[in-house]
Chains A and B, each alone.
Chain A
Amino acid sequence: MKTLKYLPVLLLFIFAFTLNSEAIDKNFTLEDQNGNKISLSDYGDKIVVLEWTNPDCPFVKRHYNEKTMVQLAEKYKDKDVVWFAVNSTHYMGNEDNKKWSDKYGVPYPILNDSSGEVGKSFGAKTTPHMYIIDNTEGLVYEGGIDDDKSGAINPDKRSNYVDLALTNLSSGDTIEISKSKPYGCSVKYK
């Protein structure tokens, strides 16, 4: 009898879980470089970009020298897009992230995932490794930032998959490329 009483709540939970299971499964709370707690679920009404990063990685350094991510984050900040960098490097913490943020004038939070739990839950393999989570469709893009792993192509001629996906989302179009092979250094989990 008691079970029947709670059945509607249970059914509602199961329904909500299966409706948007990817977004709920991957909810997390991490600290940013200033010690503020950031929960993914607080941004359910936004398009969220997650960028796996590691300041020690030459691929990441190249992109930050070229301002690839910073400029993209600025481009879409007024279009309901929030950008987070996630650092799953096991030997780095808030202080390292703060130094990086200050050095490059990073306008978005860098989240401390030194335990690697969030990175592993997303299957993040490289730095950078990009994910875009839409507020209605869940995970809509995962993969590389662009098609130029060696940095040999003129930046103006690269295909930036994240820019393309955000453009598609902003204009209500279907995502043209939902998946690409990520490239970079391996994520330095423990």
Chain B
Amino acid sequence: MKLKHIFTIIFICIGVYGFSEEFTDTVKTELVYDTSQLKTSDIIRVGVLYKLKPNWHIYWKNSGDSGLPTKLEYTVPKGFKAGETLWPLPNAYKRDGHILDYGYNDEVLLWSEIKVPKEFKQMHLPITLKTKWISCETICIPGKAEFTENLDLNHENKLFNSWISKLPSNKNNNFDIKVISNDNKYIIIINNNGLARNFKLFPNPVKAIDIVSVSYKENGNNQSEILFTVTLYPGHEINTNKINTVISYIDKDNTRKGFNYSVNIDNLIVNN
């Protein structure tokens, strides 16, 4: 079956986000999916490809100091299970006033893996996928799109391959990493072995905790340092002793890669 492309001109509506109506063409969206993994597994990949106007960006799962994380919501038949959104390595956007945001510009594919129950023998899967975002440049414009599709379960889309390579790995590529801390100030020291540079930190969202004043240092001894301060917000229970982050870097082939990294915060000082 011929692949159906849905291009949606995005407009802002009064919806769950409660924003006023406006029209924007800063983001175009397309439902994309790949079911070729069904040959060897029980998952399919379904997501949204966002194409942005130059100089505009949408946000990562932690939008940073401002903005709003991009959201995807799946409605699937009973017995199916949509996993968490998969986020390729984000970019950092610095603004005057020490404002730091995390997100994507130009183009990004966000998707989930959907588990198909063994007993499902049909060749088509009805699905609804809703997405909401805020796109920003000089101003910010909220947007949303909704797709209702009957997915062909015999459909390959190789687009996913290039985006899978942009997901953070669960291994740190054998970098030797240590963390030192003092009075809510932390330094992640990475021995890069001369094989990587330009390390950047992207903290996962945590309600009670914020990572601020992030800075970077390259030492002469093949060491990279990521320095930051942890701010605690009162009134929220801190039920974790780790901050999960993504660390990106440029490898010796000038390819951007990244890995998930947890920072132990056992010694955090709670200031109210």
Contacts and interface: CB of A to CB of B under 8 A. Distances in A.
Secondary structure of the B contact surface, majority rule = loop
Interface residues of B, number: 29
B58 interface: no
13 contacts: A56-B140, A58-B19, A58-B134, A123-B97, A125-B65, A143-B233, A151-B19, A180-B235, A183-B68, A186-B65, A188-B138, A189-B97, A190-B96
Interface residues of A, number: 36
B95 interface: yes
Contact of B234 (A62, A177, A183, A189): A177
Contacts of B65: 125-126, 182, 186
B136 A186 contact: yes
B141 interface: yes
B67 interface: yes
A185 B234 contact: no
Given A58-B141, A126-B66, 8 more contacts: A56-B139, A57-B139, A58-B140, A124-B97, A151-B18, A179-B233, A186-B136, A188-B138
Nearest to B232: A179
B233 A62 contact: no
Contacts of B19: 58, 61-62, 151
A121 to B, nearest CB: 10
Contact of A149 (B20, B68, B101, B272): B68
Interface string A154-190: 0000000000000000000000111111111111111
Contacts of A183: 66, 68
B67 A186 contact: yes
A75 interface: no
A183 B210 CA distance: 12
Given A178-B234, A178-B272, A186-B97, A65 B139 contact: no
B234 A119 contact: no
A116 interface: yes
Contacts of A66: 18
A153 to B, nearest CB: 10
B16 A186 contact: no
A152 B95 contact: no
Contacts of A62: 17-20
A25 to B, nearest CB: 17
A65 B16 contact: no
Given A58-B142, A178-B272, A185 B136 contact: yes
Closest 10 CB pairs of A and B: A151-B18, A186-B66, A189-B96, A177-B235, A185-B140, A186-B99, A58-B19, A189-B97, A56-B139, A125-B65
Q: Which label, helix, strand, loop or mixed, suits the secondary structure of the A interface?
A: loop
A76 B154 CA distance: 63
B210 A181 contact: yes
A185 B101 CA distance: 10
A116 B97 CA distance: 9
A116 B140 contact: no
A120 interface: yes
B252 interface: no
Contacts of B141: 58
Nearest to A63: B18
A185 B97 contact: no
Interface in B59-104: 65-68, 95-99, 101
Query: Which of A66, A91, A186 has the most CB atoms of chain B within a 10 A radius of its CB?
Result: A186
Interface in B1-39: 12, 16-20
Contacts of B20: 58, 61-62, 65
Nearest to A148: B18
Contacts of A65: 18, 20
B235 A120 contact: no
Contacts of A186: 65-67, 95, 97, 99, 101, 136
Interface in B221-272: 231, 233-235, 272
A18 interface: no
A3 interface: no
Q: Pick from B12, B134, B138, B140 the residue with the most CB of A within 10 Å.
A: B140
